[in-house]
A and B are shown apart, each in its own frame.
Chain A
Amino acid sequence: MARRSRVAVEAEDTELNMTPMLDVVFILLIFFIVTSVFVKAPGIEPNKPEAVTDVDLPPGIIVAISRDNEIWIDKMPYDINEVRSVIMALRDENPKAGGMIQGDAEAQAGIVMQVQELMSDLGIDTRVATE
C-alpha cells in the first residue's frame, strides 16, 4: 500500500522536458512563415502546354486563360479591356512580383500574347506557364 502510493506520487511529479520539442516546433513555425506565399489563385486550372526549356519562377501575379478565352484573375473572370486595371492594382500591392500567364493549350495565342504584352508594359517580368 505504502509503496503503491509512493509510486503514484512520483509519477505525478515527473515533468517532461519540453524544450527540445519547443525548439522543433519553433523551427517548423519559422519555416512555414518564411515559405508561405500569399498568391491570389486564379480560380481555374488550365490545361497548360508542355515545354522543354521552361524554368522555375515563383509567381506573384497569376493570370489564367481558359480554353474559352476567359481571363481569370483572383477567382473572377475579366474582359481583356478590364485586365489592365486589375493587374495594375495587383502590381501596386506587390511591386516586385513576377507574373505568370497560365494559358490553356487551346486558348487563343492572340489573347495570351496580348496579356503578356500588357504585363510587360506594366513592368512585370512575365512568363507563360507550361506543365
Chain B
Amino acid sequence: MKRRVRHGGDDADVDMTPMLDIVFIMLIFFIVTATFLDETGIDLTQPPPPPDSDLNPPTKSAITVYVDGKNRCSVDGRGAECDRVALAVEGIMADKPGANIILRIHEEADNLHLVGLKDKFDDREWTSKIEIIKG
C-alpha cells in the first residue's frame, strides 16, 4: 500500500499529525473554558416618565403596596403578611378593576421582596410601578 503510493507520486499523503495535535489542544481548551450560563431574570426596567404634555394623565385608581425598611408589608395602608400581599391586592382589585399597582419599597428592604412582589404582579398581569423610598 505505502509502496504503491510512493510509486504513484501524485497521491502524496500530507502528514496530518501536527494539525491534529493543534486541533485537539484547541478542542480541549474550549471544552475547559466553556461556561454554560443559564441565567434567568426578571425585568425591573421602569417605563419612561410621560412626556410633559401629558402632565394630567387620566386618573386611574391605584393600589399602593408598601414594604418598609424592616420588611413589613402593607397594602393600601393596611398591614399584611408579605406572602399574602398578592391575595390582599386581589381582594382590592375586585373593587377597582384594572387598577395600577404602585410598589413602594423602602431602600433598606430586602431584594427578595422587590423581586418577589414584582414577579407576583407580573404573573397576574397587573401593571405595577416601582418606587424606592429613601431615608
B123 touches A106 (CB 8 A): no
Q: Which residue of A lies closest to B26 (CB)?
A: A29
Number of interface residues of B (CB under 8 A): 44
B37 touches A59 (CB 8 A): yes
A127 touches B119 (CB 8 A): no
List of B residues within 8 angstroms of A107 by Cβ: 110-111
Instruction: List residues of A (70-116) whose CB comes within 8 Å of B's CBs.
Output: 100-101, 103-114, 116
Q: Does B122 contact A (CB under 8 A)?
A: yes
List of A residues within 8 angstroms of B35 by Cβ: 36-37, 39, 41
A32 touches B108 (CB 8 A): no
Inter-chain CA distance A54–B44, complex, in Å, is 11
List of A residues within 8 angstroms of B134 by Cβ: 110
Q: Chain A's interface: helix, strand, loop or mixed, by majority?
A: mixed
Q: Chain B's interface: helix, strand, loop or mixed, by majority?
A: mixed
CB distance from B128 to the nearest CB of A (A): 12
Q: Does B1 contact A (CB under 8 A)?
A: yes
A32 touches B34 (CB 8 A): yes
B1 touches A110 (CB 8 A): no
Select A109's contact among B26, B39, B132, beta carbons within 8 Å.
B132
B39 touches A100 (CB 8 A): yes
A110 touches B34 (CB 8 A): no
B132 touches A110 (CB 8 A): yes
B40 touches A129 (CB 8 A): yes
B111 touches A39 (CB 8 A): no
Surface stretch bound by A, among B16-24, B74-82, B94-102: B16-24
B111 touches A108 (CB 8 A): yes
A113 touches B130 (CB 8 A): yes
A51 touches B115 (CB 8 A): yes
Where the two chains meet, the residues of B that have a C-beta atom closer than 8 Å to any C-beta of A are 1-2, 16, 20, 23-24, 26-27, 30-31, 33-46, 67, 105-116, 119-120, 122-123, 130, 132, 134
Ordered by A's residue number, 10 sampled pairs between the chains whose C-beta atoms are within 8 Å are: A32-B31, A41-B35, A54-B41, A65-B111, A110-B105, A114-B132, A116-B45, A127-B43, A129-B41, A130-B41
Starting from the known contacts A41-B35, A107-B110, A129-B40, 15 additional A-B residue pairs (CB-CB under 8 Å) come to A25-B27, A52-B120, A52-B123, A53-B42, A53-B123, A100-B39, A105-B110, A105-B111, A107-B111, A108-B109, A108-B110, A112-B44, A116-B44, A126-B44, A128-B41
